[in-house]
């Protein structure tokens, strides 16, 4: 267990927001498969998973996104570029889809899940939170972003969260109008270039005692 905790902290100390990727270094298929699974296994409120992840591999599409990313070259140089989309609203059909999936996986009759369905509907569809469903979904997407970056670090894959983007312009490039999803954030993944000066800089964080309190 001590070895595992050491490996975890070492990986988190190693990672940083990579500014320059080696454009020739690609994430192996089996490693990317694990990272995809990590995204899918991310916990969400109600288990609703109100998002999608676009793995943008097409060079032309990445080039089209670059001007809407403050010109940050990570977009075109990284191995994998993931755009996080969140639901613009939660509809009864979304809830019914979840109930059907629970019934399929767990073998629970759908009629036994009626109270759970009604609970979600009362909160995310018909309740006050329903008016801000996209903001709620975006927060769920950020949980997935954090999970992805942590898992990437453990696997020795570099990552850079990309908030410096124009979500509305991304939506146009990715043709999201009418899909029920909108861009929230992105993440570039791959392997750092030796030319990235930030890789050698000390990680700056406050002391644990300044951020973690026991009450």
Domain boundaries, the chain: 2-211
pLDDT at position 207: 98
Q: Is 196 helix (H, G, I), strand (E, B) or coil?
A: coil
pTM: 0.96
- pLDDT at residue 186 is higher than 90: yes
The predicted structure's pLDDT at residue 202: 96
Contact 65, 91 (CB under 8 A): no
Percent of the chain with pLDDT over 90: 98
At 77-129, the pLDDT tens digits run 999 999 999 999 999 999 999 999 999 999 999 999 999 999 999 999 999 89
Per residue in 119-134, pLDDT tens? Answer: 999 999 999 899 999 9
Please say if the pLDDT value at position 61 is more than 80. yes
For residue 160, count CB atoms less than 10 angstroms from its CB and return exposed for 0-12, middle for 13-18, buried for 19 or more: buried
Is residue 82 within 8 Å of 192, Cβ to Cβ? no
Q: What is the mean pLDDT of the chain?
A: 97
Mean pLDDT of the 19-31 span = 98
pLDDT of amino acid 125: 96
Kindly state which CATH superfamily the domain 2-211 is placed in: NADH Oxidase (3.40.109.10)
pLDDT of residue 1: 74
Q: What is the DSSP letter of 22?
A: -
Dihedral, CA atoms, 140, 143, 149, 153, nearest 10 degrees? -150
Q: What's phi and psi for 198, nearest 5 deg?
A: -70, -20
pLDDT at site 2: 74
Classified as helix, coil or strand, 51 is: strand
- For residue 175, the model assigns a pLDDT of 98
């Amino acid at each position: 267990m001590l070895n595992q905790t050491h490996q975890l902290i070492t990986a988190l100390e190693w990672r940083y927001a990579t500014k320059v990727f080696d454009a020739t270094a690609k994430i192996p298929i089996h490693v990317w498969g694990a990272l995809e699974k990590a995204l899918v296994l991310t916990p969400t409120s109600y288990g609703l998973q109100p998002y999608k992840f676009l793995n943008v591999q097409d060079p032309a599409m990445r080039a089209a996104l670059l001007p809407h990313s403050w010109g940050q070259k990570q977009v075109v140089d990284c191995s994998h570029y993931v755009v996080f989309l969140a639901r613009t609203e939660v509809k009864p059909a979304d809830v019914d889809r979840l109930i059907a999936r629970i019934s399929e996986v767990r073998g629970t009759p759908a009629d036994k899940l009626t109270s759970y369905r009604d609970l979600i509907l009362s909160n995310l569809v018909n309740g006050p939170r329903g008016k801000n469903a996209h903001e709620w979904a975006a927060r769920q997407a950020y949980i997935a972003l954090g999970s992805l970056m942590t898992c990437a670090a453990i696997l020795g894959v570099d990552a850079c969260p990309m908030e410096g983007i124009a979500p509305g312009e991304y939506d146009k490039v990715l043709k999201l109008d009418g899909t029920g999803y909108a861009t929230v954030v992105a993440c570039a993944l791959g392997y750092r270039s030796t030319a990235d000066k930030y890789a050698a800089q000390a990680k700056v964080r406050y002391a644990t005692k300044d951020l973690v309190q026991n009450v």
